[in-house]
Structure 1
């Protein structure tokens, strides 16, 4: 009997040992910078002027894959382009979810394509977007895009002191016209006013730590009348704005289609079935929701990119001289026209200049994702392997990637030539708009190309005065304000000059081109 008990105990021990040693090894979490015992890294990150720069400083010390803690929430920050490719392209199924944002749920945005989690509904929306925005169909939109870019250039010539307003109006006009075939002439348009109200709120709450409810989700159950729940009142307000933004321009398209006067647009294309029969209500709802996201996808980030371009041309006039010479040679003595995307292959330096603008100041410094329901124990970074837990917040530091000195030497310098050498570094166009083909990438592509080419070719060279850069939170977590400096450290605001006036002053002081008979006036 005793032998049987001993044999059984030995067998059980052997089985337990085998089970323990054969189970998958639990990998360590990525390193985390030291922080406050209660707040974690929240105090340091919150005090930073630009949190992506602070995250980049953490990466310099702790490596390109780190974790941070904000109170009880953890996030995993990636600054390695090769790891980004591995996770978001090769393992995209595991990393395709959106970052969960409580304010997006309270406003109703979580059911739209911008924040919708991976699943059948998101697949349906992406299929619809691809059907109306693929490379073949997108050629149909070039004429209307060309019209809007020409309007932008005429406004720029007529009132250079309002150039920031002109950039914003261009972005708004293109987004709304592509989505609905609706033409905007000024910011007084009711659709633009509604969209701007929404964007002001969206740009605010989409930041990961902008509202307490985004950090402590249980706060969403507080009633709106409590003084400590201002986010609830803001969410109720924005919910109404979003409803109006979805429905008002969509009903305009339906009315125009009924009257037979609808301009070709994303919505009008998808509201027509192949056989000509009316689409069902489910399809109408999907078209309405996806069309409403064009403004968010293409406006604020487009403005940011074009502002970055103007700043780069002001600070580095020698690059504009080279691009002007290339454009003049290419166009020859023929009629002045808009440069189209198809011209890009004939303009290597100008194309390199645009790439450098996107790298120098990426329009979306941080891209947010969320891992799926399973732990990933095989996240290799360098010679180490880490674990990313299930349902974790993942943040790709695009700014750090585009300023990696091992990939882009002298990253703070503006050097278009870096993209003209053999074995040139990766083009920022592959990652600055997020990962995978997005609406932002398409809506902005032609806008940036046409408006920047026109500005390069026709605006005389800036500038002998100094400029500085101010970063402000926005959809991409920053917009650019231009400041004219009479002397180092002295902002235009200290001289009683607004940012808007300063931008115009930069153009007017240097060029005086508004006084001439400009070819853009003839368009």
Structure 2
């Protein structure tokens, strides 16, 4: 197992605090006489913390779920944690009882690392409701349609980049995701000269790995550790927090200053932030500070959510195509039959391309980008199926376990888009697997824009390119075992591949195809 806190810090943990923690836990009663959900045996003080793989806790939760059921209880030091491995139970609690399950647990790193006003991590209350309302105005389903012409243009730029430098496909996918959300949020058109900003973004987003209950169990039990001076032996987390706060502030403020300058120059185009800044002018003076705080939290959440998750989904798409050539063949046959070879797919074609939609759904099911979602917390105690769920408990919806449900998804570890189609080749469900976007009032509000970006890239990339394994010096396929970098989110590590244009497609042909496509 891996720890977020430098192991040397254990030397400085006061014995008295451990003793107090143990005594308070032993004396704690649930107050109802009800039974907690079943779960693995616990050690004194630390509970189940030492038995969990903090790098990939979803795998540990799958193992425990197989033994104790789809709803089970664990404890990390003094924190009650209820884990849900079933989509049905998640809906029963997080959606049908959303008024009690819509808050967030205490994460000791949230404020020190700069994520204090990111509304995805904000506890349920007035601050969160204001931010959610502001976000929803720009990214709800009907409003998201306004971004589609821009998404097609950005997709075409991505195709050009892949044609010119296919070896840089990982950077191109990340730049596409960032460019789409920068346009939607700030009307900022990212270009080749924005590499320095993308490096700031990369450094800022690295702090997301410290934003889960599992990776901060020690800090959540002993938050004073983050108050130690940066020079203190073992205080590497404090130094990480200082850097994270710096880069997050820069990532948040730089594009906001761009919008302010554009407004002053009269050149600001439509964007979420422009709409919010106009609305701010209508706020009462005593509410401007609150509104500004929400505006920053919403813009940060928009950019982080769009750039981090969409880019990772697209990289897993490339990985899936490299490993499954037969999927590409069927997809291209569908595209050629519906769209033809004289233009590229656009959103009007989407209802007529069910296999492309099935590929998009299978990518997010096969490799959940946020395998544990963002943890919920109860605002009051509850009883479910006879089990007591404490007030203030952390509630984890294990999307990874849901994606591996063999009853719903036979051979779940395999990439099989056909699972979403009926015998006639039509979609069997009108929506993507819901666990990919969270549950209840905390469901991802930007999912409509993200899904559209993924569909645009998948359909267009398969119309233009072939994906295959890279070759060695003797012309043989280079086999590899895919691995991922994990934290709050997952993304694939670099893997060898070849991206080549389909026969007859060169730069001139691609330009004609793009010119013939509605944007």
Query: Could you tell me the TM-score, scaled by structure 1's length?
Result: 0.82
Name the structure 1 match of 2:482.
469
Cα shift at 1:427: 5.0
User: What SS does structure 2 have at the residue aligned with 1:368?
Assistant: coil
Picking from 337, 342, 346, the partner of 1:339 is 346
Name the structure 1 match of 2:415.
414
Maintained 8 Å contact 1:356/1:414: yes
Name the structure 2 match of 1:434.
438
Maintained 8 Å contact 2:203/2:247: yes
Cα shift at 1:96: 0.5
Matches within 5 A, 1:90-489: 90-186=96-192, 188-201=194-207, 203-211=208-216, 212-273=218-279, 281-282=288-289, 283-332=291-340, 335-340=342-347, 342-377=348-383, 379-380=384-385, 385-421=386-422, 424=428, 427-436=431-440, 437-460=443-466, 462-463=468-469, 466-476=479-489, 478-483=490-495
Maintained 8 Å contact 1:64/1:79: yes
CA distance in 1, matches of 2:467, 2:80: 48
User: What SS does structure 1 have at the residue aligned with 2:81?
Assistant: strand
Gaps of 5+ in 2: 1-29, 470-476, 515-519
User: What SS does structure 2 have at the residue aligned with 1:472?
Assistant: strand
Tell me which moved more, 35-44 or 225-234.
35-44
CA distance in 2, matches of 1:66, 1:277: 48
Maintained 8 Å contact 2:39/2:72: yes
Name the structure 1 match of 2:72.
66
Matches within 5 A, 1:45-60: 45-46=52-53, 50-60=56-66
Quick one: structure 1 residues 113 and 24, their matched pair in 2 at CA, closer, same or farther if it must change by over 3 Å? closer
User: What SS does structure 2 have at the residue aligned with 1:507?
Assistant: strand
Name the structure 1 match of 2:50.
43
Quick one: structure 1 residues 35 and 110, their matched pair in 2 at CA, closer, same or farther if it must change by over 3 Å? same
Quick one: structure 1 residues 518 and 53, their matched pair in 2 at CA, closer, same or farther if it must change by over 3 Å? farther
Name the structure 1 match of 2:3.
none
Name the structure 2 match of 1:519.
509
Tell me which moved more, 465-474 or 31-40.
31-40
CA distance in 2, matches of 1:289, 1:37: 39
Cα shift at 1:232: 2.4
Cα shift at 1:336: 1.2
Indicate the structure (1 or 2) with the bigger Cα radius of gyration: 1
Matched, 1:33 2:40: yes
CA distance in 2, matches of 1:221, 1:34: 32
User: What SS does structure 1 have at the residue aligned with 2:234?
Assistant: coil
Cα shift at 1:424: 4.5
Name the structure 1 match of 2:9.
none
Maintained 8 Å contact 1:294/1:439: no
CA distance in 1, matches of 2:220, 2:508: 51
- Cα deviation, 1:226-282, whole Å, max 9, x if unaligned, reads 2233322322332232222222211210110121111211111222249x8699634
Maintained 8 Å contact 2:211/2:488: yes
Tell which has more relative contact order, 1 or 2 (C-alpha 8 A, sep 6+): 2
Maintained 8 Å contact 1:87/1:95: yes
Quick one: structure 1 residues 370 and 285, their matched pair in 2 at CA, closer, same or farther if it must change by over 3 Å? closer
CA distance in 1, matches of 2:200, 2:504: 32
Cα shift at 1:457: 1.8
Gaps of 5+ in 1: 1-22, 484-501
Q: How large is the RMSD of aligned CA atoms in angstroms?
A: 2.8
User: What SS does structure 2 have at the residue aligned with 1:364?
Assistant: coil
Query: Could you tell me the TM-score, scaled by structure 2's length?
Result: 0.83
Quick one: structure 1 residues 482 and 273, their matched pair in 2 at CA, closer, same or farther if it must change by over 3 Å? closer
Maintained 8 Å contact 2:127/2:294: no
Maintained 8 Å contact 2:75/2:81: yes
User: What SS does structure 2 have at the residue aligned with 1:106?
Assistant: coil
Maintained 8 Å contact 1:301/1:363: yes
Maintained 8 Å contact 1:297/1:439: no
- Cα deviation, 1:76-115, whole Å, max 9, x if unaligned, reads 1101111111111111111111232111122342233121
